[in-house]
Every structure is written in structure tokens, then in C-alpha cells.
Amino acid sequence: MVKRTSFEGDSCPVARALEAIGDWWSLLIIREALSGQRRFGEFQSKLGMAKNILSARLRALVDHGILATAPASDGSAYQEYVLTPKGRGAFPILVALRQWSEEFDDRPEEIATILVDRAKGRPVKKLELHAEDGRRLSSAETTLKPRLARRRRSV
Amino acid sequence: MVKRTSFEGDSCPVARALEAIGDWWSLLIIREALSGQRRFGEFQSKLGMAKNILSARLRALVDHGILATAPASDGSAYQEYVLTPKGRGAFPILVALRQWSEEFDDRPEEIATILVDRAKGRPVKKLELHAEDGRRLSSAETTLKPRLARRRRSV
DNA sequence: GCAACTTGGTTTTATGATGCAACCACTGGA
DNA sequence: TCCAGTGGTTGCATCATAAAACCAAGTTGC
């Protein structure tokens, strides 16, 4: 098979996440959903993507338990796509991507929005990784440990 | 052109990040680089990807300033690919993806590794988003604000 | 010093994924 | 009933990816 390689059986959690949301559009759809969009047409017009691709992506996200379909809240007969807890759990991934752009983008002046604390209107803090005891950890201060049975497959 | 849409001009920082590292392989290459891999052959054998694709990805990552080429540290005439600060800055993205899998994966028992504090061997804490004043923020407690273009008094 | 092997790729070819436009079914309103 | 808007599906052209063959320079064994 000359298929696009699947990471489904991979034991690395990063690869497993990418299997679900590692394509070009899924994270943007989740981003829109987190900011309140629910309808097919809303996603399509906000993202400007082809309808067949959107259709396929929405179906895949529903299959992965990231979105769920629900009857429209406005009483019409159409349906809506709403985030599940798993979908809302992707929020830190989006924040990490956003902050990475803010810090390293070559043309940061082209970035149009800032993520702020809704209550105070002030920018949020950077995501930081901490140890159990609260020490701030850089990537060099972490390492990977096999979980149970030793199966080898890197990071 | 019926080209794959580019997010390069997009003003959303999430889209801009995906433009650079939103494809299937780039984040996995960065993951390997963070865990110490440097050589073409190391990436190729660890990731099991086609060499032409790896070649194209490495070139793109170098173009984006995420990797840089350097003479091999072992004295041979070959070259190495090392992470730039921008590349190392993607660490929180990988951690976010990893933790999302750990929390929501349908078959968490297949996940082989845990990210631990190197000093103590204990699992790291979950990434959390905090406000300036330290309050923990959920996605619902944040909002997007247009970035105020700095008022330009001179040209 | 030279053949054999390794490293680090490029080229070729087949196939899957994407983008776009056209088309269609259903809904809701006048 | 007619008709615009919503929510898709279908075809087709093009692009990206995968796998394997190929290749050139670097390195090793002798």
C-alpha cells in the first residue's frame, strides 16, 4: 500500500495525537469550535475551505470523539457540531501553537489577535512545564521513561 | 492553482504555526531532534519514513529556521541537523499533544512512555494556562482581543 | 591504494489527498 | 407553490506522499 502512513498503532502519544488532529484543517476547526462556531456553514465561511473537505473532516472528528452532532439550538431542523470534553481538552495544544508563533514568528506584526484573560482583559501567561514539586522544567530537564512493559519506540 | 492552501498570510497565529509545522512529519522530526537525534539516517531509521520525504521536510524546517545544519560533531565530513531556539521552543506543543493523548486516548494502555522530571524520575505536571495574576484559566475564561496596532506617529 | 560498504541523498513511478466547481436534497419563508 | 439558503455529495484535475531504484561522496578493511 502506498497509503499515507498511519500512526494509529504507534505507541508514541505524540504520534497518536497527530493521527487524530495532525492534518491541515482539524486544529483550525477545533479552534473555531472553541470560539463558538457550531454550524457547517459557519466553519465553511470562517475557514474558507472546500465543502467536501470540511465534510470529511467533521465526520472524522466526530468519529474520533472530538466533536458530536446535536440538534440545532435555534430550533431549526439542521444539526450542529459541538465539542466534546476531548475536543475542549485540545485547548492547550492551540495555546501552545499560538504562543510559539507569538514568540518566534518572523513577522509577528501580522498576528492580529491576543489571547487574554476574559475577566481582566490582560494577556495570559506563557504555558510552562512544571515538575511535581513545582520546579519549572525545560525540555533538557525531562526524559522519557517506559510506562510498563518495555516496548521500544522513541519519544 | 489547485495547490494545497497556504496559511502564510493568515493573521491567526495558530494558522501561522500550522503553516510551518502542521504537516504529518515535522513535529515528529522535532520530537526526535529534542530527544537527541541529529543525523539524516537517525531520523530516517527512528521514524521509518521515506527518505525523499525526510529530505524535503528537513529542508523546509531549515528554511523555517527550526533546524540548522552544522558540521558533524564526530569529526566526519557529514552534516547534522540541530534545533535552533525556535525549534526548541516547540517543546510545549509536543508536551501538549502528549498530555492530550494521555488524557483522552481511547487505548491509553498502548502508550509506551511517560514524560518525567529527569532529576526525580517523577511524572511532570499537566500544562496549565494561567492569568497574569496566577488564576488558572479554562478556555471559556479566555477571549481573543484584536492586537492594538501601535499608534504610529511617524511614518 | 583500492575495493566494498555506509551515508545521505535524488529520481521515478504509482497512488492517495486536496481544491474547486457543479450538482442535488431538504428547509424555511413569502 | 415558488424560491433562496443550508448542508452536503460527486467528478475531475492537480498536488503530495510512499516506496524502491539509483547514485555520488565519504569511510573502512586490508
DSSP state of B123: B
State the Cα–Cα distance between residues A18 and A7, nearest whole angstrom: 8
Q: Is the pLDDT of residue B154 over 60?
A: no
pLDDT of residue A27: 95
Residues B35 and B73 in one domain: yes
Contact A119, A62 (CB under 8 A): no
Of A145, A150, A152, which to mutate for an interface test with B (greatest number of B Cβ within 10 Å)?
Answer: A145
State mean pLDDT over B68-74: 88
In a domain, A90, yes or no: yes
State the Cα–Cα distance between residues B43 and B59, nearest whole angstrom: 13
CB contact under 8 A, A146 and B112: yes
In a domain, B102, yes or no: yes
pLDDT of residue A147: 84
The residue whose CA lies nearest the C1' of nucleotide D7 is A40
| Residue B147 beta carbon within 7 A of nucleic strand C | no
Residues B21 and B79 in one domain: yes
Residues B27 and B75 in one domain: yes
- Stretch 93-132 of chain A: residues touching chain B, C-beta under 8 Å: 93-106, 110-125, 127-132
Residues B71 and B101 in one domain: no
One DSSP character per residue, B68-112 reads: EEEE-TTSSS-EEEEE-HHHHTTHHHHHHHHHHHHHH-S-GGG--
pLDDT of residue A38: 94
Residues B21 and B47 in one domain: yes
Residue at a domain's end among B62, B84, B106: B84
In a domain, B153, yes or no: no
Of A93, A115, A121, the CB nearest to B96: A93
Residues B71 and B99 in one domain: no
pLDDT of residue B155: 39
- pLDDT tens across B4-43, in order? 667 776 788 999 999 999 888 999 999 999 999 999 999 9
pLDDT of residue B143: 95
In a domain, A153, yes or no: no
DSSP state of A139: G
Residues B78 and B107 in one domain: no
Q: Is A134 left (phi over 0), alpha (psi -120 to 50) or beta?
A: left
pLDDT of residue B17: 93
pLDDT of residue A23: 85
Range of the domain at A64: 13-141
In a domain, A155, yes or no: no
| Residue B76 beta carbon within 7 A of nucleic strand D | yes
Contact A92, B96 (CB under 8 A): yes
Which amino acid type is present at position A23?
D
Residues B53 and B113 in one domain: no
pLDDT of residue B26: 94
Q: Which CATH number is A62's domain given?
A: 1.10.10.10
> pLDDT band at residue A3, thresholds of 50, 70 and 90?
low
| Chain A residues whose beta carbon lies within 8 Å of the beta carbon of residue B139 | 34, 88, 91
Q: A151 or B85: which carries more pLDDT confidence?
A: B85
Of A11, A49, A131, the CB nearest to B117: A131
Residues B44 and B67 in one domain: yes
pLDDT of residue B91: 97
- pLDDT tens across A74-120, in order? 778 889 999 999 999 999 999 999 999 999 999 988 998 999 999 99
Contact B142, A114 (CB under 8 A): no
pLDDT of residue A9: 67
Q: Is the pLDDT of residue A155 over 80?
A: no
Of A89, A121, A140, the CB nearest to B100: A89
Of B42, B83, B95, B141, which to mutate for an interface test with A (greatest number of A Cβ within 10 Å)?
Answer: B95
Cβ of B68 under 8 Å from any chain A Cβ? no
Q: Is the pLDDT of residue B73 over 80?
A: no
| CA A115 distance to own-chain centroid | 16
In a domain, B98, yes or no: yes
Residues B49 and B77 in one domain: yes
Please identify residues in chain B, positions 87-146, with a C-beta within 7 angstroms of any atom of strand D. Answer: none
In a domain, B22, yes or no: yes
In a domain, B150, yes or no: no
Q: What is the ipTM of this complex?
A: 0.90
Q: Which of A144-153, B10-19, B81-90 has the lowest mean pLDDT?
A: A144-153
Residues B100 and B126 in one domain: yes
State mean pLDDT over A137-142: 95
Say how many domains are in chain A: 1
Please identify residues in chain B, positions 15-54, with a C-beta within 7 angstroms of any atom of strand C. Answer: 39-42, 51-52
State mean pLDDT over A9-19: 86
